[in-house]
Copies of this chain bind each other. A is one copy, B any other.
Amino acid sequence: MAEPLTREQILDTTEQVLRRFGLDKTSVVDVARALGVSHGTLYRHFASKAALKEAVAERWLHEVSTPLGKIAGEEGSAFDKVRSWIERLVHIKQSKAKEDPELFAMYNALAEESVEVITAHIHELIAQLTKIVEEGMKSGEFQKGNAHEQAAAIFYATARFHHPALAKEWASSHIQEEFKQVWSLITSGLVKKS
């Protein structure tokens, strides 16, 4: 307690308080109380409540992008990797949503308050996918083309299964099947090969 307050300590405690009280009911005073400091102190570490929430959102999104980045960095066929990557993304989002829907909704609301944080997160994810797609184009597994555009297309074509705004629909008993069908459409294409 005599130690100086760190940014990570504040973020840990902020998350705890947010989980207990919820996004709307959490005040800076609540966070300060949980840390045993005055609320003025928090303003020496974060410029505003918005900046504090932004930092929490950023950290939460890194929990998604970090394991995915590992998959993108592995060895192996690009086809297997792109499939693992997307399936992992879908699984992370859907399992968080299923385990604790309220908490999932709260973190998403938190993230939505910080457009820039979300934008950076999406760019990071598409950059990871781009890397895999580039490999697949080089190895001859995938059709040649603009890897970044192709990666974005894969990401957006699967949005139904990982975009938080569509989380309500993940409760459907067909969602797993639908993902498989979309994935098959993306990989094989609609049009008959001549």
A positions within 8 Å CB-CB of B: 79, 82, 136, 140-143, 149-150, 152-154, 156-160, 163, 165-166, 177-178, 181-182, 184-193
Contact = CB atoms under 8 A, between A and B. Distances in A.
A187 B191 contact: yes
A176 to B, nearest CB: 13
Assembly stoichiometry (copies):
2
Nearest to A166: B165
3 cross-chain pairs, A with B, having the tightest CB-CB distances, nearest first:
A189-B189, A153-B181, A153-B185
A14 to B, nearest CB: 26
A79 to B, nearest CB: 7
A153 B178 contact: yes
A190 B142 contact: yes
Contacts of A166: 159, 163, 165-166
Contacts of A82: 190
Nearest to A82: B190
A141 B186 contact: no
Given A142-B191, A157-B160, 5 more contacts: A149-B181, A150-B185, A153-B181, A160-B160, A165-B166
